[in-house]
């Protein structure tokens, strides 16, 4: 399945939520498979974001650097331009789209369902 990195970045909290919700054994199996792949890709995105924060960070004191406190204000436009390019790229995740039935009994808001849209086979009207 091909998805944009932005979809993963935005949906990670919903995945963390549904990974703790009861479902059928088959649903749990496929959710865990997808969850592992999504989490790994999210960590990769976060690592790149961290590198960009350090690249575009405002001047820091030694103490701030040691504590890992970085601020991006002066070059914020450049930071977001580069980060948005990364989020706009696609990644191929080796897992099929989840069946709607695996999450159909879970309590999800309309916003959460919207964030899962690219990962779940939605029911047809």
Cα-based distances in Å from 18 to 94, 110, 113, 116: 20, 14, 11, 10
Domain ranges of the chain: 2-62+70-121
- Listed residue (40, 109, 43, 51) closest to 79, CA to CA: 51
Beta-bridge partners for 90: 4
Model confidence pLDDT, tens digit, residues 61-96: 777 777 777 888 889 999 999 999 999 999 998 888
- Looking at mean pLDDT, say which of 22-26, 28-32, 44-48 comes out highest: 44-48
Give the pLDDT confidence score for residue 20 in this predicted structure. Answer: 92
- Asked if the model's pLDDT at residue 16 lies above 90, the reply is yes
Q: Are the beta carbons of 80 and 6 closer than 8 angstroms?
A: no
Q: In whole numbers, what is the pLDDT of the chain averaged over residues?
A: 91
Q: How far apart are CA 46 and CA 120, in angstroms?
A: 23
Q: Are strands 120-121 and 98-99 parallel, antiparallel or unpaired?
A: parallel
């Amino acid at each position: 399945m091909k998805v944009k990195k932005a979809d993963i970045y935005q949906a990670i909290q919903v995945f963390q939520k549904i990974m703790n919700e009861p479902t059928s054994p088959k649903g749990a199996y496929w959710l865990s498979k997808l969850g592992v792949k999504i989490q790994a890709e999210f960590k990769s995105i976060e690592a790149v974001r961290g590198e960009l924060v350090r690249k575009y960070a405002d001047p820091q004191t030694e103490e701030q650097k040691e504590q890992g406190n970085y601020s991006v204000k002066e070059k914020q436009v450049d930071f977001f331009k580069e980060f948005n390019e990364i989020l706009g790229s696609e990644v191929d995740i080796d897992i099929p789209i989840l069946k709607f039935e695996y999450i159909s009994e879970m309590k999800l808001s309309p916003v959460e369902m919207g964030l899962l849209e690219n990962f779940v086979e939605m029911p047809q009207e």
